[in-house]
Chains A and B, each alone.
Chain A
Amino acid sequence: MADVLLLAILIPVLAALLIMTLSAKATDMIRAVGLLGALIPTAFVIAAYVAFNHGPAGATALQYPFSVRWLSVANAFNMLTLHIQFAFGVDGVSMPLVVLVGIVSTLSCLRSFRVVERVKSHYVWMLFLTMGLYGVFAASDLFTFFFFLESTLVSSYFLISIWGGERRHFAAVKFLIYRGFASVVLLAGLVGLAYAFAVQAQAASATVVLPNAPNFLSLSIPQLIAEAKLIQVPAATQNVLFLVFLLAVLIEEAFVPFHTWLPDAHENSDTGTNMMIGGALMKIGLYVLLRFGAELLPQGLQHYATLLAVLGVISILYGAFVAIASRDWRRLIAFSSISHMGLVLLAIGSMQAIGIQGAVFMLVSSGLLTALLFFTVGAQADRTRTFAIGDLGGLSKSLPVISGVMLVAALGSVGLPGMSGFISEFSLFVGSFTTFPALSAIGTLGMILAALYLLYAMQRSTFGPVQTLVTEMPDATALEYVPMVVLVALVVLIGVYPDVLGNVVHGTAQAIAAGIGG
């Protein structure tokens, strides 16, 4: 059990290596290995989730820790020896996201059974992306984190540019430039962070007794979090570093005005890839903000809290309005997700425990719902051969099951109680109203606009007279039931009994909020 995170990261790699040895013609074998390579780690991380210690002791401790030293750099920053590690471990914020990666990757690999071109390399890249996503959320070391973040960039680039739609090369290059730039900015931030902490720790070591006071410099995240409570990185340094991280996050998470790469990427990607990007990859940016912004740079967050809230509200409204005018389902989902991530930014800006809990809920909920939306929209497009909302109509008649699940996903995204979106939205608004009542009131307009764009699109797609060129279509196959049933079940489970997520998140959210004075 202790090595569960390592296994989750290694198994997809091993599966990918195995696939490389297979003949490109053995597509069934490749698919089976690919699916297992995603499924087995998922079983592990779900087991880890169930066994997660959510008692008071587990709230702040790193669970399932694993670390191995990779290399040492002597005299780093002209100070002590620096140990670079591969280190993993999860807390109440990263544990749910790790499970999210498992679920989304498994279902995406299942969905990718429909991919017929270059099956072998498709699964190799899918599995590498899965590995990268696990690594990003499970990393407990700055270097490890960055290493896996870069790997996701490469694998998703290939997934978009090889199996995407008409303008896939354009979309993939755009994706790469934006996120690559974000990575460089993020790297600057991480190096600056390590340096600032090293300097302060060095200076403080005479007066403050640091826990496990190592005689070397460490990039371990829990170590830095522990230090952050004891040493005082100067406010000016925190502010600058926070701005650097914020810039990276804004690009990475496609916040207005750095967002145009996301709709293009979604519009030009295969459904399985879209599920991975929308369901898991697009949660990294805000995770970075919570992990490095809120936990390591509390004063920076406090200083820029209002800015976060304003940027959040801008994205909420901008995304929602553009979604109303979107003519393609995939672009609509992309803008909807921009709008929802604006809510999370607003909640993090609130610096309240309940807001942060709501933020993590929203990351998980929107991951599941975005994956479900992409899946159902993709399933209908497999049959009608179009994503254009205006070309659809009356799908309920020929595809009652797929249309029904699509409606469930849409209503879930609108924030209907009984599904995960509601309690996420409610919690994060309770947090944000505490700190920013007026801005939050403006933000609630997003709730009305979400109903508007999603139900308007549903009205044109599934209601009304049949408009599509193809009129006789087979409804969902047995294979397609699996992702739909799993995702709907999870969304409803969280909606009906939110403590299934809450008891993991709650303690850590409280601890983070305590660190930023919420």
Chain B
Amino acid sequence: MIGMTWLVPVLPLAAYIILLASGRRMSEAAVAGISVAAVFVSFLLSIGVAANVAAHGPAAPTVYPWLQFGSGTVTVGYQVTSLNALMLLVVSLVSALVLLFSRSYMRGDDRFSRFYQYLNLFVFSMLGLVVSPNLLQFYIFWELVGVCSYLLVGFWYFKPEAAAAAKKAFIVTRIGDVGLFIGIILLYLARGTFDFTALFGGASAPAGVMAHATAPLAYAGAKFFSLWYIPFAGWHAGAFVTLVALLVFVGAVGKSAQFPLHVWLPDAMEGPTPVSALIHAATMVAAGVYLVARMFPLFEASATASQTVAVIGGFTAILAASIGLTQRDIKRVIAYSTVSQLGYMMLAMGVGAYVSGMFHLVTHAFFKALLFLAAGSVIHALDTQDLFEMGGLRKYLPITHATFLAGALALSGIPPFAGFWSKDDILTAAFTSGHYVLYAMGLIAAFFTAAYIFRVYFLTFSGAYKGDRHPHEGGPAMTVPLIVLGVLATVGGFINTPFDPMLASFLQDQGPIGYNPPANWTLMAVSALVGLCGIWLAYTLYRTEEGRAERFAQRTGVLYTLSFNKFYVDELYGLIIVAPVRKIAEVLQFVDRWIIDGLVRLAGEIGYTGGVGVKYSSTGQVQTYGLVTVFGLAVMVLVVIGIGGVI
């Protein structure tokens, strides 16, 4: 079965090529049918691959030569470990459901086929990223998912906001990518390889083993530093590991929209909603967390780097959650929620809780894709994204309502829904590993989380409908994915409960990785209670008394303004980065035109008027012909003189 892993990404690629070749000639049904079928078969194959890994353990990577590179050869291929297998399952399942959902959501769009092309290309790239056996191939697919995101955010290219958002997403993540780019190069220079397995252990280490194996890297790094001069001289070996780990993390920060590079994700909501569900919730943005997991030995080897990951994660979790409390646009609330939840995953990775982080990645993929698709169903029915123009939809959209509620409960961490088990795992890990401040931040963020998502829930589904349309469900292509994800959001957490930690034993089939927190019933009760408090807050503000929310907002004053304006981070960047770059560009353009080229033209002018006395334009082309001849003659003379030995 593992020998067929290559088919998993190749099937969506094949679908992409078929759609690309057939252009607009294919019907919508055929386009969607081919795409869903291809990705669904990928999902079935992934099940087989995962079962194989569970039964027989990981296999050695399969690679083919790609490029002669320095004294070695770079390879491409695929590799399956328990971590990859898990990601394959999640990505292919959510992708298949989103592709099905889009059949209905994008119906009648001018570029329906183009939309499916991009989505297939994305699914291919994401699956290719997951199975990459080396960092270079990983980076290639990492960039490809980024460009798919760019194309899909800007899918409605005629909307100026969409065009701006697409560009912003690409450039902000590009900043992170350059960090990863440098990190990969430094790792290569130190170890002479891109292969994940060889980087940390050496070629003899079996695939999937993640032991404390960075010793050779630290050694190579120290040797390497000694070749450079300032500012690295005298650094001890660990500093190189820290530097590289932080550079890799910069890449993860960009992709996973962590502070301070989180600003692109909310804007990316300009893309069609299925795109938000697939790329900007379940898969691509989680790739940053996956990267940290894939490079886990590197982070384990550097306490500084791990601390940074944990602090950035915790801070992002609380920052984004507090912004989510006040946004008016349904998709933006969920987008900030995504940023915040990704922060939890980073927090987990940072405190060493490898399994907890991956567990939350999985449950989050289910319930966040669900929330986005449900929001998509609402937007599809109402044609607005403003929460204050909704209301009372429980009656009109019963399936959407029920599934959204399941997703909201999962996100809020209410037992027994999926998010409860995974988020609680992270908070327990933070607490029991002694990170009390981070634990407190996580807990407050959990309170905010429950409050903002139930604010959305109450504004959307309860009360009376404020618009004048006749909302209705979008048909089985929309409801089936919702129901499947709704079930997963409800029961998905049972793959890794304290009673039966199946996921933990699957991911650690080759020995323990990182920190596994012990079950702690008190902490569990606390976090469930905090979630309930958040729901209660949303209820009292939005369901008890008219206008209570507004009065509450006024009372919180400056805090409300800060939250509503996203803490002015975009404005700050505009001031300290965008404006200076523009200014430098304009100044240099001026210098180029009027100073550098000005001097050139001045010299030319003097030469002409002084030497020839006539402007070239006045005598037409004769002069310029002459110039050519003069050059030619000069050359010939020089050659002859040179050869003849005169000089």
**A residues whose Cβ falls under 8 Å from a Cβ of B:** 73, 75-79, 82, 84, 143, 146, 150, 153-154, 157, 161, 169, 172-174, 176-177, 180, 183-184, 187-188, 191, 194-195, 257, 260, 318, 321-322, 324-326, 352-354, 357, 394, 396-397, 411, 416-418, 422-423, 426-427, 429-430, 433-434, 437-438, 441, 444-445, 447-448, 451-452, 455-456, 458-459, 462-466, 497-499, 502-503, 506
**B residues whose Cβ falls under 8 Å from a Cβ of A:** 65-71, 136, 139-141, 143-144, 147, 150, 154, 157-160, 162-164, 166-167, 170-171, 174-175, 178, 181-182, 185-186, 188-189, 228, 231-232, 581-582, 584-586, 588-589, 592, 596-597, 600, 604, 616-617, 621, 624, 627-628, 631-632, 634-635, 638-639, 642-645, 647
Q: A437-B228, A447-B181, A498-B66 are in contact. Are A397 and B167 (CB under 8 A)?
A: no
Tell me the smallest distance from the CB of A35 to a CB of chain B, in Å. 27
Residues of chain B contacted by A172 (CB below 8 angstroms): 624
Chain B: interface secondary structure? helix
The answer on a CB contact under 8 Å between B604 and A506 is no
Q: A150-B635, A418-B140, A459-B167 are in contact. Are A451 and B228 (CB under 8 A)?
A: no
The answer on a CB contact under 8 Å between A498 and B67 is yes
The answer on a CB contact under 8 Å between B638 and A78 is no
Tell me the smallest distance from the CB of B75 to a CB of chain A, in Å. 11
Q: Which residue of B lies closest to A403 (CB)?
A: B157
Tell me the smallest distance from the CB of B631 to a CB of chain A, in Å. 5
Q: A76-B645, A84-B643, A434-B189 are in contact. Are A451 and B160 (CB under 8 A)?
A: no
Partner of A447, one of B141, B174, B232, B600: B174
The CA-CA distance from A178 to B493 in the complex, in Å, is 70
Residues of chain A contacted by B66 (CB below 8 angstroms): 497-499
Residues of chain A contacted by B181 (CB below 8 angstroms): 426, 429, 444, 447
Q: Which residue of A lies closest to B225 (CB)?
A: A437
The CA-CA distance from A183 to B635 in the complex, in Å, is 8
Tell me the smallest distance from the CB of B220 to a CB of chain A, in Å. 13
Partner of B628, one of A82, A176, A441, A463: A176
The CA-CA distance from A177 to B611 in the complex, in Å, is 15
Residues of chain B contacted by A153 (CB below 8 angstroms): 631
The answer on a CB contact under 8 Å between A173 and B616 is yes
Q: A76-B644, A173-B624, A324-B582 are in contact. Are A430 and B182 (CB under 8 A)?
A: no
18 contacts between A and B (CB under 8 A): A146-B639, A150-B635, A173-B624, A174-B604, A176-B624, A184-B634, A325-B589, A394-B158, A411-B147, A416-B143, A422-B140, A433-B189, A444-B178, A452-B581, A459-B164, A459-B166, A463-B160, A464-B160
Partner of B616, one of A169, A352, A466: A169
The answer on a CB contact under 8 Å between B158 and A397 is yes
Partner of A187, one of B140, B228, B628, B639: B639
Tell me the smallest distance from the CB of B589 to a CB of chain A, in Å. 4
The answer on a CB contact under 8 Å between A423 and B67 is yes
Q: A169-B616, A417-B140, A497-B66 are in contact. Are A463 and B589 (CB under 8 A)?
A: no
The CA-CA distance from A191 to B641 in the complex, in Å, is 10
Residues of chain B contacted by A426 (CB below 8 angstroms): 136, 181, 185
The CA-CA distance from A184 to B632 in the complex, in Å, is 10
- Knowing that A184-B634, A445-B178 touch, tell me 7 more A-B residue pairs with CB under 8 angstroms: A176-B627, A177-B604, A325-B586, A325-B589, A444-B181, A451-B170, A464-B159
The answer on a CB contact under 8 Å between B586 and A430 is no
Q: Which residue of B lies closest to A415 (CB)?
A: B143
The CA-CA distance from A180 to B71 in the complex, in Å, is 40
Tell me the smallest distance from the CB of B12 to a CB of chain A, in Å. 15
The answer on a CB contact under 8 Å between A465 and B160 is yes
Q: Which residue of A lies closest to B643 (CB)?
A: A73
Q: Which residue of B lies closest to A217 (CB)?
A: B643
